[in-house]
Chains A and B, each alone.
Chain A
Amino acid sequence: MDIRIRKWHIYLTVSLTVISILTYYLATRPPSKINNIPPDPAAIAAVAGLAPIYNVDYRLGLENWISKVCAQATENGCQLFKELYAPGLWRNIQRNKMVLISSVSAVRRTQDQNINSPNTQTWELNVSIVDQSKANAQSQDQRVFAIVASNKSGQWVFERLLTNLETPKDNQEGTK
């Protein structure tokens, strides 16, 4: 039997093979940017601590919010959040009926607030926030600073957010 292969058959086969390989590669390759979080345990702690603060629903109640934040915070940080931050912020959250959905990413480590303590680090983070309680809610990016502290076993844990009174003025002085 005489099998005749024409040139265009070869072109078609090669083209389909290349397209298949390319499609498989694009579908299965790891994303070019995994995320913005540096593989730093302190940064991960900062992100973990900040996430429950900025994912808050006024309908779920203050206790619910505090318990989620405290689950990611040091004992001192939990106490500080519960006693100082939460009561005032919750008034605003309730007043504005906030339903915040946020994603947090670490940007970089900044000059530490307490340079005498080697057990703390200050991190600049980016929070993308959508307030779903608002009509036509749009995402807004916000720069936030957080302090993390290492506990006795050397693990980094979220301590607290910085207020506007403490925000580093020159954020170019990163130490990382």
Chain B
Amino acid sequence: MKLNHVPNLLFLFTIIFAMFPPAGIVSGQSTSPWNEVFNTDGTLRDDLTDLGEYSETVPWMNMEIPVLGNVLEASYHRYETPSGNVVVIPSATTLFFMTMNPSASGLLGSTGQVGNGAGVGIEAPGILKGLINSSPNLQEAWDTIINSLPNHVPPDQFFQDVISGKTNIFTIGGSNAMNFLWELLRISVNDHMLATTLLLYLKGQCASAPGGCPSIVDAAPQPSCPGATVKIGQPTLSIRPIAPEKSLVIGQDPNKRGADIQIDATIPPVVYTWYEAIPVYENRCRGAGSGETPNCKTDGSKESDDGVSYRAIVRYDCKKHVEVYEEPVKSVQAIANLSGESRDWIMGNLAERYYQATVHQPSFTLLPGLGMVATWCDGNKTCRANSTIERIPFADPGRFDLKMTVTTTGTPVSQPRILKGFGKIEVWITLLRSIEN
């Protein structure tokens, strides 16, 4: 791939993006597994298990600097549906390279995708290949886009149609599409990546999904028995201020109190259910071959032994095994960053009124550094981490965005996870106003 084509590609993406302002599009199979992913209003369902952010070095995303290595890693956010399907949300950069290598990246293995205009534009088959392999012919590209336009459905009906299995449809505007875009925006902000598209991989196809299967056991069913299942627990993360009720900037506080922040993470156990096929034998008698000594009757009416006995499997009974694994917390990181709005307010409004007003310390690395983290797993194999960080000397007024990142070790049957939680704290300042009579 030549990066010289990137401006052309970006130009075309812009055109495609402009054609699909707040929009959703879907292609997939007639029996829709999307009903496990979306509510009818375009929001993601609550019972999706957050598998967290996942990054990996992949050969189809190779952009190397000599000695220092690969610049890019493929990154995705992934969810698992109750039935074990996997929803993969690649970053825009990852999706770009997936398009360049649709087979190796697993893009072709997805059952369907729902995305906004930019995501769909990136995936549009045929257009980008043509652009990369030859000089882009804008008229041809335009014709391809026009000819491949899917069917429009009303905004309110869109996600109902997605859930009911309609394919190759799109919509423009409407509150449901906006709900969907807010979901994408939330994921984008949380993971610091541009998310545009949801790719769906059915349970049996997850090996071809980017990042592989979240459960790493061989789930091939044994004879006549149900397949194994791995149920990954839904984590709960929280990062929040606990004292004082209103934090004052450290410079104005005579007690230099600072603020306390509480961090909690709860990771439920991973439940691995598998079935053991236990053969049930029966003694049977077959006709004896030459040289064999008969020891049974092939027919009850026979007077003497004419056959040889053997054990035959007549059926399999399935014995259910449930194994519960704890998923310990490997590390916890937490940061506090002054929001952009507060930064602007300090440097603008406040600086106009108070000559020396400036931003003192806009970011804090809370963990590791300012507190200790306790991690443990209880008797129910639920693993937890908590930390109380005391007396954080916030020196700037405004809103600090709090972010925690928890890395788990994974289990013998599931991959490690990178999970994120968010919160905020407001730090107050006392402003003096002179009142003249």
Contacts and interface: CB of A to CB of B under 8 A. Distances in A.
Contact of B63 (A113, A140, A165): A165
Contact of B72 (A54, A88, A114): A88
Nearest to B72: A88
Contacts of A127: 66-67
A88, A96, A113, A140 — which one has the most chain B CB atoms within 10 A of its CB?
A88
A127 B63 CA distance: 19
B435 interface: no
A44 B232 CA distance: 56
Contact of A165 (B1, B67, B69): B1
Interface string A96-108: 1010100000000
A61 B73 CA distance: 20
B76 to A, nearest CB: 15
Nearest to B63: A163
A54 B67 contact: yes
Contacts of B4: 113-114
Contacts of B62: 164-165
Given A129-B67, A143-B66, A163-B64, A88 B3 contact: no
B70 A88 contact: yes
A127 B65 CA distance: 12
A27 B338 CA distance: 60
B2, B3, B62, B68 — which one has the most chain A CB atoms within 10 A of its CB?
B68
B66 A92 contact: no
B71 interface: yes
Contact of B64 (A53, A54, A164): A164
Nearest to A98: B68
**Pairs A-B, 9 closest by C-beta atoms:** A92-B69, A164-B64, A88-B71, A163-B63, A89-B68, A142-B66, A166-B3, A88-B72, A144-B66
Interface string B53-87: 00000000011111111111100000000000000
Contact of A91 (B65, B66, B73): B73
A163 to B, nearest CB: 5
Given A163-B63, A164-B64, A89 B3 contact: no
A96 B67 CA distance: 11
Nearest to B64: A164
B68 A92 contact: yes
Contacts of A91: 73
Nearest to A100: B67
B361 to A, nearest CB: 14
Chain A: number of interface residues, binned into ranges: 20 to 34
A166 B1 CA distance: 8
Interface residues of B, number: 16
Interface of A: 53-54, 84-85, 88-89, 91-93, 96, 98, 100, 113-114, 127, 129, 140, 142-144, 161, 163-166
18 contacts: A53-B68, A54-B67, A54-B68, A88-B73, A89-B69, A89-B71, A91-B73, A98-B68, A127-B66, A140-B67, A144-B65, A163-B3, A163-B63, A164-B62, A164-B63, A164-B65, A164-B66, A165-B63
A84, A92, A100, A142 — which one has the most chain B CB atoms within 10 A of its CB?
A92
Interface in B16-67: 62-67
Contacts of B66: 127, 142-144, 164
Contacts of B2: 165-166
A52 B263 CA distance: 38
B65 A89 contact: yes
Contacts of B67: 54, 100, 127, 129, 140, 142
A144 B67 CA distance: 10
Given A85-B65, A163-B63, A163-B65, A92 B3 contact: no
Contacts of B65: 85, 89, 144, 161, 163-164
A113 B3 CA distance: 10
B68 A84 contact: no
Contacts of B71: 84-85, 88-89, 163
Contacts of A163: 3, 63-65, 71
B1 A92 contact: no
A91 B72 CA distance: 10
Given A88-B69, A93-B69, A165-B1, 18 more contacts: A54-B67, A85-B65, A88-B71, A89-B65, A89-B71, A92-B68, A92-B70, A114-B4, A127-B67, A140-B67, A142-B66, A163-B63, A163-B71, A164-B62, A164-B66, A165-B2, A165-B62, A166-B2
B131 to A, nearest CB: 16
A108 to B, nearest CB: 17
A141 to B, nearest CB: 10
